[in-house]
């Protein structure tokens, strides 16, 4: 569509330009601090590579946990008939999204902190200041993304497909795996990507649960605190590369999701 430069269109273009510049300009200014030879040296620092690997591992692990527990919960919210208290469940699900991450971390410390019953029950397990602590924090904070996206994906699947599968002799579990899940697949994948990205970027709750070992976000925080922005640039560039890969996958999946929605709308 050719955009005509008049009235409403001009206002939209100007406001969009300001918004875009606001998001992109910090990325440009970051380049001022980049010195290529120093950058490579800094990136290969063991501290940073360890933080990078730990972030990828913990974010993947928490996304995997969300797959196992979050997807069934989203199906439950989308498909089970309205019952008293369902509204409360919907609110509980979005709590980690609206709560300040530090507050989420504090809540988790209440459950997994030194004097909690869970820790007393499993004294050999290190729930805080450990990789497990990071995964617990990331899973909590990233959970709304997968649950809300999957719930919307299941709701967009016409129930008649599931009913037909049942009438054709499939049990509820067969129907879930052969019809509901494949039809909601792209929406769920979008949720998984968003959860993974959120877990990678998680700082507040992770700081409360496990400041050590360092994730990439904590490494950025610490390098900036010790040596200023110039010191944190390599960490930030690594984080940006990770995010860009995720954003790329996200957009490809979103495109497929749109095509799927068109197909489902028949």
Partner 1 sequence: MVELELVNLTKKFVGGFRLGPLNLKVNDDQILVIIGPTGSGKTTVLNLISGLLKPDGGSILVDGRDITSVPVERRNIGYTFQNPSLFPHMNVYENIIFGIKKKWKHRNNNDVDINNLLEDLGISYLTHRRIHGLSGGEMQKVSLARMLITKPKIILMDEPLAHLDTATKRKLRIEMRHILRRQSAPTICVTHFEDDVYALADSVCVLQSGIVEYSSKLGSLMMTRQYDSNDKDSTSRLLSNILTSIQGNNYLEGNVIKSLGGITTFKAGSTLLETLGNYNIGSKVGILIRPEDIILSKEIVKTSARNVLRSKVVKITKYDAAIVDVFMVADSFHLTSRITEEARADLQIHQGDEVFAMFKASSPQVVREEEKEEE
Binding site for partner 1 (CB under 8 A): 158, 160-161, 163-171, 178-179, 182-183, 260, 263-264, 266
Shortest separation between residue 85's beta carbon and partner 1, angstroms: 18
Q: Which is nearer to partner 1, 113 or 182 (CB)?
A: 182
Q: Nearest-CA neighbor of 109 among 204, 196, 179?
A: 204
23 burial level (CB within 10 Å; 0-12, 13-18, 19+): exposed
Q: Which is nearer to partner 1, 139 or 150 (CB)?
A: 150
Q: Which is nearer to partner 1, 79 or 230 (CB)?
A: 79
Q: Which is nearer to partner 1, 66 or 184 (CB)?
A: 184
Q: Which is nearer to partner 1, 11 or 173 (CB)?
A: 173
Shortest separation between residue 71's beta carbon and partner 1, angstroms: 17
Q: Tokens in use for 77?
A: 């919210």
Shortest separation between residue 31's beta carbon and partner 1, angstroms: 44
Q: Nearest-CA neighbor of 138 among 186, 50, 130, 123?
A: 130
Contact 191, 145 (CB under 8 A): yes
Shortest separation between residue 170's beta carbon and partner 1, angstroms: 6
DSSP string across 157-172:
S-HHHHHHHHHTT--H
Shortest separation between residue 181's beta carbon and partner 1, angstroms: 10
Shortest separation between residue 178's beta carbon and partner 1, angstroms: 8
Which residues touch 135 (CB under 8 Å, ≥6 apart)?
58, 61, 62, 65
Shortest separation between residue 226's beta carbon and partner 1, angstroms: 52
Which residues touch 126 (CB under 8 Å, ≥6 apart)?
132, 133
Q: Which is nearer to partner 1, 84 or 114 (CB)?
A: 84
Alpha helices in the chain (DSSP H): 7-32, 36-43, 46-79, 86-98, 101-112, 117-121, 131-156, 159-167, 172-175, 181-201, 204-209, 216-227, 229-264
Q: Which is nearer to partner 1, 41 or 258 (CB)?
A: 258
Q: Up-side HSE of residue 210: CA atoms within 13 Å toward CB?
A: 24
Residue 198 CA to residue 106 CA, distance in Å, equals 18
Q: Tokens in use for 139?
A: 């899973």
């Amino acid at each position: 569509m050719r955009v005509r430069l008049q009235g409403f269109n001009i206002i939209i273009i100007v406001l969009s330009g300001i918004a875009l510049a606001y998001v992109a300009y910090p990325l440009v200014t970051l380049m001022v601090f980049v010195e290529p030879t120093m950058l490579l040296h800094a990136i290969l620092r063991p501290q940073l590579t360890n933080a990078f690997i730990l972030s990828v591992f913990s974010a993947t692990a928490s996304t995997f946990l969300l797959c196992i527990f979050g997807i069934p919960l989203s199906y439950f919210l989308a498909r089970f008939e309205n019952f008293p208290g369902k509204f409360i469940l919907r609110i509980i699900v979005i709590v980690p999204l609206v709560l300040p991450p530090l507050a989420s971390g504090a809540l988790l410390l209440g459950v997994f902190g030194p004097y909690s019953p869970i820790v007393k029950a499993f004294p050999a397990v290190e729930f805080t200041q450990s990789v497990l602590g990071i995964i617990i924090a990331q899973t909590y904070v990233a959970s709304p993304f997968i649950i809300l996206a999957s719930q919307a994906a299941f709701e967009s699947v016409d129930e008649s497909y599931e009913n037909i599968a049942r009438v054709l002799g499939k049990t509820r579990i067969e129907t879930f795996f052969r019809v509901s899940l494949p039809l909601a697949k792209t929406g769920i994948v979008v949720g998984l990507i968003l959860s993974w990205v959120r877990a990678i970027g998680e700082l507040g709750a992770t700081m409360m649960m496990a400041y050590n070992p360092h994730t990439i976000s904590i490494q950025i925080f610490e390098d900036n605190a010790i040596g200023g922005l110039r010191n944190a640039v390599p960490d930030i560039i690594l984080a940006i590369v990770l995010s860009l890969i995720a954003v790329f996958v996200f957009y490809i999946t979103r495109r497929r999701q749109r095509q799927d929605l068109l197909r489902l709308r028949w």
